[in-house]
A and B are shown apart, each in its own frame.
Chain A
Amino acid sequence: MLSTSFTGNDLLFMLEGAWATLRLTLWAMLLGTLAGVVLGLLRAALPRLTMPLAWLLDVFRSVPLLIQFVLFNALKSIAGLEWSAFAVGCVVLGIYCAAYCTEIVRSGVLSVSANVNRAARSLGMTYFQTLRYIVLPMATRVSFPGWINLVLGVMKDTSLVLWIGIIELLRASQTIVTRIQEPLFVLCIAGLIYYVMSWGVAWLGTVVEKRWQEND
């Protein structure tokens, strides 16, 4: 009963899948954070003018990610772009990230009180100096836990890319299940890998947070 046809090679295959998951997360976070920081700053600085932007980003948060993947994949074919599925996955996840990250950054920047801003300005700092030396460092600390949560969320959402044909952790385990017919065991291993990855990110988050709080 306890014998299994799960081999070391299968485990390697799953770890490769996990690596794909991690890479996707990394790219998506990179794209999403860069766009999110810029858009978030814009949203905080010009709330009226950028209202349409908020509506647009709201769409990406209210439509299932799965549908976004399919739509973008179809759009890619219609537009005749020669992108790999991996690139499509990164871009869709990146936009999705950006939508959330914008809100996180915006609330972080808004949490810096206006008086701090005024104090910096009256010390003779320019607008960009204030932003760079005063507002951003303070906003980062506020936004960081939210950002880590976003990383965790995105890592879990990468499992949806199997629909557009990228072999990531869950798809890899499914492939193995199809061959050796032991779904529970293989899926438990996949779950364990996901759990460990999430745990690692969460741990990293706490370490960084603690470090930043040292001179509070």
Chain B
Amino acid sequence: MMAGAWVTVETAVLSMVFGVLIALVLTSMRQARNPLMRGFSNAWVSIARNTPSLFQIYILYFGLGSFGLHVSSWIALLAGITFNNAGYLAENFRGGLKAVPETQIRAARSLGMSALQGYRLIVVPQLLRIVFYPLTNQMVWAVLMTSLGVIVGLNNDLTGVTQDYNVKTFRTFEFFALAAVIYYAIAKVIVLAARLMAWRLFRY
């Protein structure tokens, strides 16, 4: 089960990394002038936020099959969570970006920084501070969402392993209680680590 927990954490971290990257792209696309790009990212965000994550995993797992694309359940799970994360995070980033006043970028530009420098050195650090808490939350969510993999037949993450034991021994309550404890521990470790990181990063 500990090996399963590791797979769970791994999946969650991977989905978070991809999710953040895609969310950044989506956020910048949402401010683009091109209506096609804006429409695409808006559609992504609203679909990700308005349908259940299980549904998104289903679409990826069963739906892609009709294009002759057969993905493993792990890939479907990872892609589903990433899709979901990206949608939620893009919304967070947008809120964060709004909270950084526009005059900051103007001030940076008038100090002789290039646009890229302005974004990299001025806006992003402030943005990070604002979205840090939602980011932690989303990380916990990602861990919890990996438990959905078992519905599409994943059997090596924490829930999958638990379900395996459950089918073998019929000791449902004991095994799932243990799994719940491990999930709780993982969530707490994430929150604690985030708090330590915040304390280290945002000291001034």
Contacts and interface: CB of A to CB of B under 8 A. Distances in A.
Contacts of B184: 59, 62-63
Contacts of A70: 172, 176
A171 B63 CA distance: 15
Interface of B: 46-47, 49-55, 58-59, 62-63, 65-67, 140, 144-145, 147-148, 150-151, 159, 162, 172-173, 176-177, 179-180, 183-184, 187-188
25 contacts: A59-B184, A62-B140, A62-B183, A62-B184, A63-B184, A64-B159, A65-B144, A67-B147, A70-B172, A70-B176, A71-B176, A71-B177, A158-B52, A159-B55, A163-B151, A170-B58, A183-B58, A183-B66, A184-B62, A187-B55, A187-B59, A190-B55, A191-B51, A191-B55, A194-B55
State the majority secondary structure of interface residues on B.
helix
Contact of A195 (B50, B159, B180): B50
A106 B149 CA distance: 34
B9 to A, nearest CB: 13
Contacts of A71: 173, 176-177, 180
A74 B176 contact: yes
A78 B173 contact: yes
Contacts of A67: 147, 159, 162, 176, 179-180, 183
Nearest to B149: A66
B176 A199 contact: no
B144 A198 contact: no
Contacts of A78: 173
Interface centre among B147, B150, B176 (most CB of A within 10 A): B176
B52 A194 contact: yes
Contacts of B179: 67
Nearest to A75: B173
A177 interface: yes
A68 B148 CA distance: 12
A183 B147 contact: no
Contacts of B144: 62-65
Contacts of A74: 172-173, 176
Contacts of A142: none
Given A62-B140, A67-B180, A71-B180, A170 B173 contact: no
Contact of A194 (B51, B145, B150, B188): B51
A78 B176 CA distance: 14
A163 B52 CA distance: 14
Contacts of A188: 59, 63
Interface string A179-194: 0001110011011001
Contacts of A190: 55
Contacts of A63: 144, 180, 183-184, 187
A64 B147 contact: yes
A100 B197 CA distance: 25
Contacts of B177: 71
A174 interface: yes
Given A67-B147, A191-B55, 4 more contacts: A63-B180, A170-B54, A188-B59, A198-B50
Given A75-B173, A194-B50, A66 B148 contact: yes
A170 B180 contact: no
A62 B52 contact: no
Contacts of B173: 71, 74-75, 78
Given A62-B184, A63-B184, A67-B147, A195 B51 contact: yes
A160 interface: yes
Interface centre among A62, A65, A194 (most CB of B within 10 A): A62
A191 B47 contact: yes
A78 B140 CA distance: 30
B28 to A, nearest CB: 25
B98 to A, nearest CB: 16
Contact of A183 (B54, B63, B183, B188): B63
